Amino acid sequence: MKLSNVIGILFQMIELTRLALIPTLKDIYKNPYLIFHPFYVFFTNVWAILGPAMDEHEKEMKRGLIDPHARGVVLDLGAGHGHIIKYLDQSKVTKYIALEPNICMHSKIRSEASSHGFTESNGNFLLISCSASDISSVLFHLSTSIENEEKSRLHSASGIIIEDIRVDTIMTIRSACSFPSPEKTLSRLAKNVLKPGGEFLFVEHVLSERKDVAWWQRFWSPIWEAFAGCRLDRPTHLWIGGIKDLDGEGRTIDMWSASEGEAKRLAEDPEENLFGHRIGRFVKHL
Ligand SMILES: C[S@@+](CC[C@H](N)C(=O)[O-])C[C@H]1O[C@@H](n2cnc3c(N)ncnc32)[C@H](O)[C@@H]1O
């Protein structure tokens, strides 16, 4: 790898720290309670610098992924500042659920959702502040919020009718790089939170197939994780694509329908890139 590609990340960290430090200190001065969440405040200010530019650069790609495929109840994992909301087609999306553990980001998500017609009072918006890895809390929030008409009815093996609180679409855009126990978390989300026939959409920066790039991703990951809370060395696309399920007789089968689904490279990403992305769409088998 070229030296400039290897050390560019260091200059990025220095520049972002320079830009985000003063706004972070101002936020803590205005609301001293935030001293207990310094990383949340800092990363919110970092994302206010990085997020809009990245979103603008990727709008065609996101429109192509989200607009045609997000439908029904949509769960956005690590919603950040709610950048995906503008790509949701309101004629197909009945509810937007933003999961975002960083409480400093909540006001931006709420105002972005509201400006696109998703509000708690309309019943088509929900904001959850737990981690994506906390599946029981995710299911608890879904069960208490989803209106009866949104729940589909299922017959359990014993013939008892149970409500299906699972969602139609799960999205993760550059968030799985931050999940604790990511492989297990993604698998449990697909198994327990996504409905059969539902879609798992993602855009994630992943571990490179090139050995030299992967070596530098592993080298920088602990430092980047301390700075931004995310890792560069995760093969997230392979983990999602490889999720397994059990059939009615307890045999292991693929989670995803074979006829649909792919995880492709982002065309404009250079190969020598610590942040090479994969865009993916997988459909859960019925
Ligand atoms: C790089 S930002 C991406 C935000 C947004 N998805 C976007 O594309 O604009 C990563 C987000 O993941 C969130 N995150 C961090 N840890 C998480 C966790 N355990 N569960 C869910 N989200 C998490 C962060 O708070 C942050 O908002």
Ligand 1 centroid – CA 123 distance (Å): 24
Beta-bridge partners for 126: 97
| Per-residue confidence (pLDDT) for residue 269, from 0 to 100 | 82
Q: What pLDDT is attached to residue 278?
A: 95
Among residues 141, 241, 234, the alpha carbon closest in space to that of 190 is found at 241
Quote the tokens at residue 122.
């309309």
DSSP 36: G
- pLDDT score recorded for residue 186: 98
| CA 102 to ligand 1: nearest atom | 25
Q: What is the residue-level pLDDT of the chain in tens, covering all 286 positions?
A: 888 888 999 999 999 999 999 999 999 999 999 999 999 999 999 999 999 999 999 999 999 999 999 999 999 999 999 999 999 999 999 999 999 999 999 999 999 999 999 999 999 999 999 999 999 999 999 988 766 556 666 655 566 656 688 999 999 999 999 999 999 999 999 999 999 999 999 999 999 999 999 999 999 999 999 999 999 999 999 999 999 988 888 899 999 987 777 888 887 788 889 999 999 999 998 8
What's the gap in Å between 103 CA and the centre of ligand 1? 11
Domain ranges of the chain: 59-283
Spacing, Cα 193 to ligand 1 middle (Å): 18
Q: Say how far apart CA 172 and CA 185 lie, in whole Å.
A: 12
Give the residue ranges of DSSP H helices in 58-197: 59-69, 106-115, 135-145, 182-188
Using most ligand atoms within 8 A of CB, pick from 178, 183, 204, 206 the residue to mutate for ligand 1: 178
CA of 77 to the centre of ligand 1 (A): 7
**Ligand 1 atom 15: residue of nearest CA:** 178
Pocket test residue of 42, 56, 175 for ligand 1, highest count of atoms within 8 A of CB: 175
**Which residues lie with the beta carbon below 6 Å from any ligand 1 atom?**
47, 51, 77-80, 83, 99-102, 105, 131-133, 173-175, 178-180, 229
Residue closest to 185 by CA, chosen among 105, 39, 194, 102: 194
pLDDT value, residue 132: 98
Determine contact, residues 263/240, Cβ cutoff 8 Å: yes
Residue 174 tokens, joined? 């550059």
Among the atoms of ligand 1, which is closest to the Cα of residue 78?
22
Q: Which ligand 1 atom minimizes the distance to the CA of 228?
A: 1
Question: Which protein residue has the closest C-alpha to ligand 1 atom 5?
Answer: 80
Longest CA–CA span in the chain (Å) reads 64
User: What sign for the dihedral angle of Cα 39, 184, 256, 126?
Assistant: negative
Residues forming a β-bridge with 279: 203, 264
Query: Which residue's CA is the closest to the ligand 1 atom numbered 10?
Result: 175
Q: What is the pLDDT of residue 53?
A: 95
Tell me the chain's radius of gyration from C-alpha atoms: 19
pLDDT score for 151:
61
The CATH fold of domain 59-283: Rossmann fold (3.40.50)
